[in-house]
Amino acid sequence: MSKRTSGGVVKSDDINKLVSAFEQSITSADRKSCAHIQSKLENLLKLTKDRREKLDNKAKKEGLNYKGEDEVKCGCGCGNTFKSSGEYAVICDACANETCKECVKECRNDDCSVNLCSECSTSCSGCNKSFCDEHIAMCDRCEEQFCDGSRDCSLIDAGYGSYIACIECLGRR
């Protein structure tokens, strides 16, 4: 049985001893014992994943409901508060405002990794994914925004200089 610290946390040395004992058991086990050990380890892994998910969700809930001197209220209207420059804070690459991790959107262009707040991101009218201004363009006819990433999102040179149009508008001509 592993020892716990006064805060209830298992010590790293105790975990290492348990792992070492498992390794010794595995290397000396026969086929049937290996199957039994594998079953036990799979159950431990599931238990660990479930526990970690619960702890991550709790940390996220607390991190997005932060109360303290350096508290920042998210400007997106979600109601989240977070620690300035903390784990749940992200700087919008377009406007440099700090927003919560929940509201930030990454430009969906494969060659771009810009983080955008809700005010700085633009949704493609074809696929509804978020893009930065550099990777989205406007149809000159309907004034909808498109990413030009697939057929439904395509903008085509309509042949009048710099006039571009979406598939829908070209079909209506």
Averaged pLDDT for residues 88-99: 92
Number of domains forming the structure of the chain: 3
Residues 108 and 75 in one domain: yes
What's the pTM?
0.64
Burial (CB < 10 A; 0-12, 13-18, 19+), residue 13, is: exposed
Task: Give a yes or no: residue 2 inside a domain.
Answer: no
Residues 138 and 172 in one domain: yes
Q: In the structure, what pLDDT confidence band is assigned to residue 173 with cuts at 50, 70 and 90?
A: low
Task: Give a yes or no: residue 7 inside a domain.
Answer: no
Q: Reduced to 3 states, what is the DSSP secondary structure of residue 155?
A: strand
Does pLDDT of 153 surpass 50?
Answer: yes
Q: In the structure, what pLDDT confidence band is assigned to residue 10 with cuts at 50, 70 and 90?
A: confident
On whether the CB atoms of residues 166 and 152 are closer than 8 A, the answer is no
The pLDDT score that the predictor gives to residue 154 is 87
Domain ranges, residue 141: 121-173
**What percent of the chain is predicted at pLDDT more than 70?**
92
Task: Give a yes or no: residue 6 inside a domain.
Answer: no
CA separation for the pair 13, 9 (Å, rounded): 12
Structure tokens at 167: 């598939």
